[in-house]
Structure 1
Amino acid sequence: MRSSRLVSILLLLQTRGRMTAAQLAQELEVSVRTVYRDVEALSTAGVPLYGDAGHAGGYRLLDGYRTRLTGLTAAEAEALFLAGAPGPAAELGLGPVLAAAELKVRAALPVELRAHADRISGRFHLDAPGWYAAGEEAPYLPEVAEAVWDNRVLDVVYRRWRAPTDVRRRLEPYGLVLKAGRWYVVAGPGPRTYRVDQILELTLVDEGFSRPEGFDLAAYWTAYQRDFHDRLHQGEAVVRLAPGVRLPRAVTHPTDRHPTDPDSTDPHSTDPDGWTVARVPIESIEHAQGEFLRLGTDVEVLEPPELRALMARTSAELAERYGNSTSSSGD
């Protein structure tokens, strides 16, 4: 435990510069007295570390001193290389930077940890986009990333789903999020969330902005997703499913429950012929109709009545259309 703490002190001073004993103690969650003992141990071991007294004092390393000791465990080295994301980094224009950084980290690792890193890279690969939806092209992604980094205002023409579809917006970009192969920018005023691939025109404005104090991108995104799903699935449907049939993921998400899962169905709702009754969340009547039609005759909608009526009407129209297709094609 102490050796790990000594390494942490070295890395903290190397990356942050001068730090007081109180700051080190708070960072390491130990007492100031423990920090004093650790600093003395480092000095005795020959580490060029010295302290300055006074209000602006603190401990620091001799200028130019760098340690190759990383203090990484095997598990930490594996996690570090598993977290690498070359695809998204390349989209942001950081591909060469990431490759160079990975090379330097790999070179600094002891031989045994380097072997762990090579093993994890060779056995696991992260692929963010889904099978049936490749990540949409976002030609303005590098410019958005630059604005996020430099706190620059953006003037964009943005395409939204409702009329008027193409609108001009002044954005103060706080951060970027990659979700299932799609990039989103969280921007003020608001903040609000925008799809980067729906930006039609973009101008980097020669104007800065200040991020809201205490803004937490990860916390915002978590709350945004929760609110999105709460608004998305506002109803339920009761359906009968043929044996072995699983609902489309677009219907079961976000609960991720299928009729074969014990918590998603009534154990007494299976018919003698093997059909299963399931209660599932739906986004809207129209959306549910499209998803259930994909299952053809393997599904029967029982509730709500308006969805059942819509399914019946659509089925009748399809039967009439395809029933007349033979005579129509012969004319």
Structure 2
Amino acid sequence: MRASRLVTLLLLLQNRGRMTARQLAEELEVSVRTVYRDVEALGAAGVPLYGAAGHAGGYQLVDGYRTRLTGLTVDEARAAFLVALPDAAAELGLGEALATARLKLRAALPAELREHAERIQERFLLDAPGWYGDVDRVPHLAAVAAAMWTRRAVVLQYRRWRAPEEIERRVEPYGLVLKAGRWYLVAGGPSGSRTYRVDQILGVRPLEEEFVIPDGFDLARYWNVYLADFRARLHTADALVRLTPEGARLLGVPPTGDGWTEVRVPIESIDHAHRDFLRLGADVEVLAPAELRNRIAQTARTLATRYEG
């Protein structure tokens, strides 16, 4: 643990230049006294650093000195690919590894490229989840990820939408997908590859059994096929509607002139379409199917009666 901290301290000084003992203590999450001891240990090991007292003082490396201790550990290499998603890395249990990997990557860059990389980090931020969706609680994500790294089968306790709602199933974790702030597990089982929402996992029991990912399996290709199939099942019919310019804008439909726009839109079901089109209020008129038009007309009559007077 201390050896890792000494390397991190050294990389901090190499990346940032002069730093006070308190700044180092905050970065390393240790006491100032511990920083003093670590600096002494580095000096005794031959690292050319020196300290200056006073308000503008601090520790820094002798000009021109660069450490070559920038090799990434396995966890740090994994975390490096999540560099734009620090929250995701933390959920996977790789938050600390990501911080160390960033330091090592910066230390390996020439000064001009390091400055450019830091400027990008200061000016761009990726916030993946949507505005109005609640953040999913994924207490079993780290356990699933650990089984995925080590290629060990697990038994999932899982909640699904159809009966029986709670099931137990042995699966082989092939990969994880983060889609719009929500985690999905792609796993093999008796009936082939399936997709599970990680926030619906109620428990994970690791097994000693190792598994082999099938030849030719590609996570990105699987996910694209899964999405295409999901969309095909999602939109089972069409609705013919008339939209005002505002309604066209809300649905993302190019308006035709300044009047009404007639367009066909895919719908999942009468129930879903009924709720979705009611949100548009008077900016939409459903022409077909007749069942959907009648449902919305009945709702409009009920609302008019309710709000009379």
TM-score (norm 2): 0.69
For 2:114 and 2:183, how far apart are their aligned partners in 1? Answer: 32
The corresponding residue for 2:147 is 147
Correspondence for 1:259 among 250, 253, 259? 253
Deviations 1:30-56 (A, max 9, x none): xxxxxxxxxxxxxxxxxxxxxxxxxxx
For 1:134 and 1:121, how far apart are their aligned partners in 2? Answer: 26
For 2:202 and 2:291, how far apart are their aligned partners in 1? Answer: 39
1:86 touches 1:95 (CA, 8 Å); kept in 2? yes
Give the aligned length.
232
The corresponding residue for 1:300 is 285
For 1:288 and 1:299, how far apart are their aligned partners in 2? Answer: 12
Q: CA deviation at 1:316?
A: 2.2
* 2:264 is the counterpart of 1:279: yes
Deviations 1:306-331 (A, max 9, x none): 111111122223333444xx7xxxxx
For 1:196 and 1:306, how far apart are their aligned partners in 2? Answer: 37
For 2:248 and 2:127, how far apart are their aligned partners in 1? Answer: 25
For 2:294 and 2:305, how far apart are their aligned partners in 1? Answer: 17
Deviations 1:163-197 (A, max 9, x none): 22111111111111111100000011110000000
The corresponding residue for 1:170 is 170
The corresponding residue for 2:100 is 100
Deviations 1:217-259 (A, max 9, x none): 11111111111112211211121222323465xxx6xxxxx22
Q: Aligned AA for 1:188?
A: G
For 1:165 and 1:320, how far apart are their aligned partners in 2? Answer: 39
The corresponding residue for 2:199 is 197
* Closer/same/farther in 2, CA of residues 131 and 123 from structure 1, 3 Å limit: same
* Closer/same/farther in 2, CA of residues 201 and 321 from structure 1, 3 Å limit: farther
**Is 181-190 or 273-282 further displaced after alignment?**
273-282
Question: What is the DSSP-based 3-state SS (H/G/I as helix, E as strand, rest coil) of the residue aligned with 1:161?
Answer: coil
Q: CA deviation at 1:295?
A: 1.4
Q: Aligned AA for 1:275?
A: W
* Closer/same/farther in 2, CA of residues 178 and 299 from structure 1, 3 Å limit: same
Q: CA deviation at 1:277?
A: 1.9
Gap regions ≥5 residues in structure 2: 1-67, 71-79
For 2:166 and 2:300, how far apart are their aligned partners in 1? Answer: 36
The corresponding residue for 1:12 is none
* Closer/same/farther in 2, CA of residues 289 and 247 from structure 1, 3 Å limit: farther
RMSD (Å) for aligned C-alpha atoms: 2.4
- Deviating beyond 4 angstroms after TM superposition, the runs of 4 or more aligned structure 1 residues are 80-83
Percent identity between matched residues is 58
* Closer/same/farther in 2, CA of residues 177 and 82 from structure 1, 3 Å limit: closer
Question: What is the DSSP-based 3-state SS (H/G/I as helix, E as strand, rest coil) of the residue aligned with 2:120?
Answer: helix
Q: Aligned AA for 2:158?
A: Y
The corresponding residue for 1:88 is 88
For 2:123 and 2:248, how far apart are their aligned partners in 1? Answer: 31
Question: What is the DSSP-based 3-state SS (H/G/I as helix, E as strand, rest coil) of the residue aligned with 2:247?
Answer: coil
The corresponding residue for 2:31 is none
Gap regions ≥5 residues in structure 1: 1-65, 69-79, 253-257, 327-331
* 2:294 is the counterpart of 1:317: no
2:82 touches 2:89 (CA, 8 Å); kept in 1? no
TM-score (norm 1): 0.65
For 1:212 and 1:106, how far apart are their aligned partners in 2? Answer: 37
Deviations 1:24-77 (A, max 9, x none): xxxxxxxxxxxxxxxxxxxxxxxxxxxxxxxxxxxxxxxxxx798xxxxxxxxx
